[in-house]
Structures are given as C-alpha cells and as structure tokens.
Structure 1
Amino acid sequence: MIATTALVIFEQVRGRRLAREISALGGDPHSPGAQAVVGAVTVFAVLIMFVAAATIAAAAAYLTWLIRAWRNVSPFASPTSAVLAGWFVPVVNLVVPPVLTHRLWQASHPPADRHGRWPALLGAWWLSWLAVLALIPVRLPLDTAPGNADLTGLGPVELAAIAISALLCAATVREITEIQAAGSRRLARFPAGQTTPEIVSQVLAGPIPSQQARSAER
C-alpha cells in the first residue's frame, strides 16, 4: 500500500504534466526539453519498480499462506497446483479463489458463532477485488483526451479500492488463521494416547469440561 500510495501521489502532483511533456518530445530523447524531464522520469521508473516488487512480494506471501493453511487441514494433500491454477488461469481466477478460500474456512471447522459474518466478509473482499480489476482498464481510456493524459490511470478512487480490498483480504486471512490456531490449541489439550477419531469427535463437540480434562490428564 505504501508503494501504491506513493505512485498515486506522484501521479496527482506531477504525472499529468509529465505525460504532456513526454508527449511533446515526440519520442526524441535528444530534443531540447528532454533533459528537463529526466529527473521526473527517473522517479516515476523507481516508483513503478517499487510497486511491482511490493505486489509480487504480497502475492507470494498470500499464496504461501494459503498453501500452508490448506496443509494444516489436510496434511497429506498437495494444494499447490490447485491454488496456483485457481489464481493464475484466466477467467477461472475470477471465480475460483473465493471458492477455495470458503472451502478452506469450512475445512478449518469454524465455530458456529462465526458462520453468519463469514459470507459477508468473503463476498465483500472478492467484490472489492473485482472492482479493482475493473477500475484500472476502464479508467485508462477515459484519460486519453489531449491535455488530460496521465501516466498510469491511478487516482484516489483506485487507491481507495485497492486499500479496501487489501484490508478485507487481510481480514479473511486473520479469520482463518485464528480458527486454525484455536483448533490447534484444542487438540493440544488431549492426551497423546487418544485416537484421531476420538479427538475429532470431542473437538467438534466443543471444549471439554475442566473435570474431564483433569481426569484425562491423570
């Protein structure tokens, strides 16, 4: 978000004027005005690389978390190919990612009190992400009029949409992480000698009474 915010600020402060100056050069780097825009072009290039690096890092971190979360609920599964295909295959990636996330949430055995808010959170996140994908290509052709061109098409509206989508995505990650962490704490309370079906049945039934827990420990 820091990188995108910096790029949007540059766009608003200097971007449109820089776009007009570059257009006036006619593609000639040796024209008299070329040296006047070198500094601004360099700053813009650095910001673009910063945004690209930050985006790649964020995507890698999210996909790594998603694969690990799937392995937490299904240790013998190989979710990597399904996750990557769901996110990177065109058209498929418009539908599959929220489905995968919802199934992961279900497989994490969320408590009953979280069933009501999850669909709203998941739906809001995905709709905000689709809005981000729609805003930028729609916005770019609108600013091609002479004297109104800009460099990236990014503005306050696009920045707000990206910020909302990022916050909602973080909320879904936190929701699933908390559920899985709570499940791990519940499993840790059971004696090592119990079989997996016994543990699962007790976990699904809810917290064990303290007296039963003390008896199990003895």
Structure 2
Amino acid sequence: MALKPVRSLGNALGVLIGVSMAAEVVAAITSVLAALSLSAYDPATRYESVPLTTAEAVDAVTALAWYLPILASAITFIVWLFRTRHNAEVLCAVRHRRARGWLIAGWIVPVVNLWFPRQVVDDIWRASDPSTPVDRITLDELTRSGLVKAWWVSWLVWLIGDRVVTRMTLGGETVNDQVHASLVASVSAVPFLLAGVLAILVVRRVTRFQQLRGSESAGSTPWASPAVQL
C-alpha cells in the first residue's frame, strides 16, 4: 500500500492549533476583564440582578468564537491521525492496541476517552519511530514517548479545569461566584497553551519519523496492515 501524505496536513494542523492557542489567550484576557467589571458590585449581590457589563458581553462573544478554531483543529487532527495510522501500519508490522474506529470513538466514549486517545497516538509514534524494527510484531518493551505523555497530561488538566469552570459558571449565584469562575477560566488557559505547544511538537515529530522511515523503505515491499488488538 502507498503511504499517504502527511507533511502539508501536519503543517496546516500546526497553524490551526496556533490559532486556537491565540483564541485561548484572548479568551483568558476577556475573562479577567469580565471579572474586573463585576468587582465593582457588592460580592454578595445576586448575579442575576446585575446588568450585563460590556466586558461580560465581549467575553461571551469571545467564548463562542473560540469554538471555531478548536473545531477546525479537532477535525484536522482526526484526519491526521487516520493518515499517520495508515502509514504506521504500512511502515511497520507492529500491532496497534486499538482498532481504527477508536481514532474517533476514543475521544467521545465516556471513561475510555481518558486514555484511549493517548494510546492511539503513542502506538503511532512507536510504530513510526525509525528505531523500531519494521518486522516487530508487538509493542511490548518499546519505550513510550515522554512527549506524548506530557501532551496528554496537560490536555487532561485543561479538560478537568474546563469542567470546573462550567460548573462554577452555571452554579454561581452571586457576583463573587462569577468573579471566581472568570478568574479560574483565565488560569485554565495555561494547561491549554502547554497542551497546544506539545501537540504541535508531537505532530512534527511523528511526521518527521514517517518521512525518514518512508525514505528508508522506498523501493521495498510494504507491510500489509496487521491485525489490531481490541
């Protein structure tokens, strides 16, 4: 089977992640401004009785606009995963731990979405790594990527923080509650930005691995897609 191009897709994904990170910075700033605008009121005042401030309105619009680059990045990342998974199976005989369907389902199925996506990326990384023998069958004893682990941990930290912010925002009854929610939302930008930088590095490294391995195997007979463990 022929390898699928991933360099241009990886570059596009890097740009989209960068735009998402910029949107997150803007959202963090508007969250702080919203908190400052609310601090003019008595902290014990019921939030529903306070008129909408300009800063809050801008923050709400920014939050909605934030989803656009995130959605584009998510779609592109899934496409990139399918292409790199295909190439990994062509370039190396190693069996992946998850079937291809989990490249999408792994992100949305509750509970398993806490570790399946990392396993998918980690297996692609190890199968693509030029140091992995092309005839290797299992992933046992192969070193897992520290970069992939750091990316996934930072992503989970942001995900948890985002859930906390949502609960605080929906459950906050006083001005003080909403101020705290806005401040926590701004702080949660830190793990998001870290995850973004690490994701770009992971994409670049896997893309580079596959380019190197592809050039080495040029003219040789590619491996048939191996079976995967469910």
TM-score bracket for this pair, using the shorter chain length: 0.5 to 0.7
Cα distance change on mapping 1:147 and 1:81 into 2, 3 Å? same
Q: Give the residue type in structure 2 aligned to 1:164.
A: L
1:154-169 alignment to 2 at 5 Å?
A: 154-156=185-187, 158-169=188-199
Cα distance change on mapping 1:195 and 1:131 into 2, 3 Å? closer
- CA deviation map 1:47-79 (0-9, x unaligned): 12211112111111111111111122336xxx6
**Residues 20 and 147 of structure 1 are in contact (CA less than 8 Å); yes or no, is this contact kept in structure 2?**
no
Q: Give the residue type in structure 2 aligned to 1:110.
A: P
RMSD: 3.4
Flag structure 1 segments of 5+ consecutive residues without an equivalent. 28-32, 198-218
Bigger radius of gyration, 1 or 2? 1
Match for residue 58 of structure 1 among 63, 67, 73: 73
Q: What is residue 49 of structure 2 aligned with on the other side?
A: 26
- CA deviation map 1:70-90 (0-9, x unaligned): 122336xxx652211111111
- CA deviation map 1:82-136 (0-9, x unaligned): 2111111111110101111111122224326xx9985221221111111112223
Match for residue 204 of structure 2 among 168, 174, 183: 174
Cα distance change on mapping 1:145 and 1:118 into 2, 3 Å? same
Flag structure 2 segments of 5+ consecutive residues without an equivalent. 1-20, 91-98, 133-140, 224-230
Q: What is residue 96 of structure 1 aligned with on the other side?
A: 116
Report 1 or 2 for greater relative contact order, CA contacts < 8 Å, sequence distance ≥ 6: 2
**Mean Cα displacement is larger for which, 16-25 or 42-51?**
16-25
Q: What is residue 105 of structure 2 aligned with on the other side?
A: 85
Q: What is residue 6 of structure 2 aligned with on the other side?
A: none
Q: What is residue 88 of structure 2 aligned with on the other side?
A: 73
SS of the counterpart of 1:136?
helix
- TM-score, L = length of structure 1: 0.68
**Mean Cα displacement is larger for which, 13-22 or 64-73?**
13-22
Q: In structure 2, how many angstroms separate the alpha carbons of the residues matched to 1:59 and 1:187? A: 31
Q: Give the residue type in structure 2 aligned to 1:186.
A: E
Q: In structure 1, how many angstroms separate the alpha carbons of the residues matched to 2:118 and 2:25? A: 26
Q: Give the residue type in structure 1 aligned to 2:105.
A: A
Residue correspondences, number: 180
- TM-score, L = length of structure 2: 0.65
SS of the counterpart of 2:101?
helix
Q: What is residue 130 of structure 2 aligned with on the other side?
A: 110
Q: Give the residue type in structure 1 aligned to 2:64.
A: M
